[in-house]
Structure 1
């Protein structure tokens, strides 16, 4: 098979454009990673931005959001509150970064550290285990950890995009809180 110089040259140009596109996408991912704030660790004084509860006093997964243009992180004492904030139709603030705790690694009764990107997580809804506000959504970075949790506590496995506003109703939280 013989190629003409124009065909070969055209192939090189097409390959160069394709490579430029891939490199541009990589640069966008690197810029996003550089802008994303690191997760802030929970101290004994951190409080929930929605209800003022001290995070360290309650079990279950916690979450945090860093809104663009704000200096402080907004903490959530429960993943239900976190998803409620993220999925709220009135939410107009841009999110710079957000994290939930990986409960495959964190201690349920005294969760510290082990922050993960929630968009890549596995979530268990409708389990028997309680969080700070009663029924909660357990967050995991690994599907195997989520399935192990489900074998003991029940529930249904979902991904981030499958969680909807109807699953994160805040009206019943106080009904389940025995410490209030």
Structure 2
């Protein structure tokens, strides 16, 4: 009887441990020195400015070295698939030159477009959790504050490179 009770207890503990692990997997991952951008292979830790990540329903993460990349991905309906969450960094709390953690929900974040502060891909969308921090950033670096719902695909365009040159 004691053996059955021990086996049952062990089973319950293992089940609880598995549940705990599942909730950890639903959170954004910290960036490590070896993490690379899912779109272009750039090492995230080597570049300034806010980063992004998507946690897909299958448990896989896509990391983005620039917020324009994650916004472009989120705004393209042909690229939509089931996700658990999308995250960007709160630049009101993270160091611009070496941002770490400070993850916030990408769809509730505020975005500053047109600032004189570059991210890994040049001009970027600075991201903030609080309007006061976004407005302080705008006062110092210029730009305009947008809610996620106000963003348009052309605001995060990744095509054409410099000056949107699409000629060969």
Q: CA deviation at 1:118?
A: 1.6
User: Corresponding residue for 1:39?
Assistant: 28
Q: Counterparts of 2:31 and 2:162 in 1: how far apart (Å)?
A: 23
TM-score by length of 1: 0.74
DSSP 3-state at the match of 1:82: helix
Question: CA distance change for structure 1 residues 114 and 68 in 2, over 3 Å: closer, same or farther?
Answer: same
Give runs of ≥4 in structure 1 deviating > 4 Å: 172-175
Secondary structure of the 1:120 match is coil
Gaps of 5+ in 1: 1-33, 176-180
Where in structure 2 are there 5+ consecutive unaligned residues?
1-22, 164-168
Q: Where in structure 2 are the equivalents of 1:1-180 lying within 5 Å?
A: 37-69=26-58, 71-173=59-161
2:74–2:80 CA contact under 8 A, matched in 1: no
CA distance in structure 1 between the partners assigned to 2:56 and 2:99 by the alignment: 23
Q: CA deviation at 1:83?
A: 0.4
Structure with max Cα Rg = 1
Question: Measured at CA, do residues 174 and 49 of structure 1 come closer, stay the same or move farther in structure 2, by a change above 3 Å?
Answer: farther
CA distance 1:42–1:122, change in 2 (3 Å):
same
Q: Does structure 2 conserve the Cα–Cα contact (< 8 Å) formed by 1:58 and 1:132?
A: yes
**Counterpart-to-counterpart distance in 2, 1:147 and 1:36:** 33
Q: 1:173 offset after TM fit, Å? A: 4.5
Following the alignment from structure 1 to structure 2, what is the Cα–Cα distance between the partners of residues 96 and 72?
Answer: 10
Q: CA RMSD in A?
A: 1.9
Which shifted more, 111-120 or 136-145?
111-120
**In 1: Cα distance, 2:44 partner to 2:98 partner:** 10
Measured after TM superposition, the shift of residue 148 of structure 1 is: 0.4
